[in-house]
Amino acid sequence: MNLNLCAIALLLFGSISLVHSRAVDIVDNENNDADNSIEPEEEQQPAQSKHSRNRLFEDDWLKFTKTPPTKMQQAAGATIEIVCEMMGSQVPSIQWIVGHMPRSEIDNLESNAITEYAPSAIVRVKSVHVIDHMLSEPRVYTCIGRSGSKTIYASTVVHPSHSDLELGGLIATEKQYQGPQKPRIIYTEKTHLDLMGSTIMLPCKVHARPHARITWKSNEDKEIVQSHRFKVLPTGDLLIIGLKWEDMGNYKCIAHNAVGHDSADTFVYPVLKDED
């Protein structure tokens, strides 16, 4: 690893609080609270491949940078946002499951997410799960992250609003909140490091009603227009082809509809290849 990369790694990882504790209990049936401890994987690592020189780290790794709260209380008519952030080698994928699921099933759960293949990247991702309906009972929401051979997860129990409880028990049905909703960016990358010359994709997934229009601003704070190197995809993601040193900086995704707008920043850091 070259000195340039060492300095970057120290700068980024110095602010990350690593959690080492016992295995996760997804739900405690006694108090209906979630335990957000994290169990690091202890699988044997494969032998170093001939492609390892094109990776920033030889081994897969994945850590939470922000775990969701263990429990939340829903307010009457209010939308809840559960935030989950993690950083890892390659591009970590995040998915959410609703309801109780044993740890063994989580370990074997197949992700249906399409992830970007970027073996040389170090990425910090943020995912937000939006609850825009009235709950009828306490419910468990679990954030699951994967990167290579690593899997981490943490759960939140969301309790329904006290005002939604009837005398004698919980309400029998759940109601979807009606009307328009301002955009909420629910999946983005906060930091993306990759080797110069790589093609990278910066995601910007949005929850909105009606549909939100997505635009991007460059590291010079100018709206990005389509070119041979910068492409805003129909999904709203930003594709940067042939990463250069001058591409370093902050990129802003902006989502807006008739109700309002939301924005999210991604810092891109090109890394010089180690020729040794």
Report the percent of the chain where pLDDT is more than 70.
66
Q: Are 34 and 123 in contact (CB under 8 A)?
A: no
Superfamily classification of domain 179-275: Immunoglobulins (2.60.40.10)
Nearest to 156 by CA among 75, 81, 77: 81
Identify the band that residue 238 occupies on the pLDDT scale cut at 50, 70 and 90: very high
Q: In the predicted model, is pLDDT for residue 28 greater than 90?
A: no
Using H for helix, E for strand and C for coil, what is the string for 52-108?
A: HHHCCCCCCCEEEEECCCCEEECCCCCCEEEEEEEEEECCCEEEEEECCCCHHHHHH
**Least confident stretch, 21-25, 45-49, 194-198:** 21-25
| For the chain, domain boundaries | 58-173, 179-275
**pLDDT value of residue 234:** 93
The C-alpha atoms of residue 171 and residue 167 are separated, in whole angstroms, by 9
Confidence of residue 103 (pLDDT cuts 50, 70, 90): low
Homologous superfamily in CATH for domain 58-173: Immunoglobulins (2.60.40.10)
What is the rounded radius of gyration, in angstroms, for the C-alpha atoms of the chain? Answer: 20
Helix, strand and coil percent figures for the chain, each rounded to 5: 10, 40, 50
pLDDT of the residue at 54: 53
Q: Compute CA distances 31 → 28, 71, 156, 157, whole Å.
A: 6, 11, 13, 10
pTM of the model: 0.77
Closest CA to 96 of 60, 131, 122: 131
Selection from 50-64, 148-162, 181-195 with the highest mean pLDDT: 181-195
Q: What is the mean pLDDT of residues 211-228?
A: 93
CA distance 270 to 242: 10
Rounded alpha-carbon distances, angstroms, from residue 221 to 111, 215, 234: 35, 12, 21
- To the nearest 10°, report the CA torsion of 100, 106, 110, 116: 110
Per-residue confidence (pLDDT) for residue 42, from 0 to 100? 43
Residue length of the chain = 276
**Contact present, 89 and 121 (Cβ < 8 Å):** yes
Q: What pLDDT sits at residue 115?
A: 52
Mean pLDDT, all residues of the chain: 78
CA–CA gap between residue 137 and residue 172 (Å, rounded): 9
Helix (H, G, I), strand (E, B) or coil at 84: strand
- Is residue 242 over pLDDT 90? yes
- pLDDT exceeds 60 at position 58: no
Tell whether the model's pLDDT for residue 24 goes beyond 50: no
One fold for 58-173 and 179-275: yes
Instruction: Return the pLDDT at 167.
Output: 42
SS3 170: coil
Please give the C-alpha separations between residue 211 and each of 214, 260, 261, 272, in angstroms, as whole numbers: 10, 11, 11, 39
Alpha carbons 231 and 220: distance in angstroms, whole number: 16
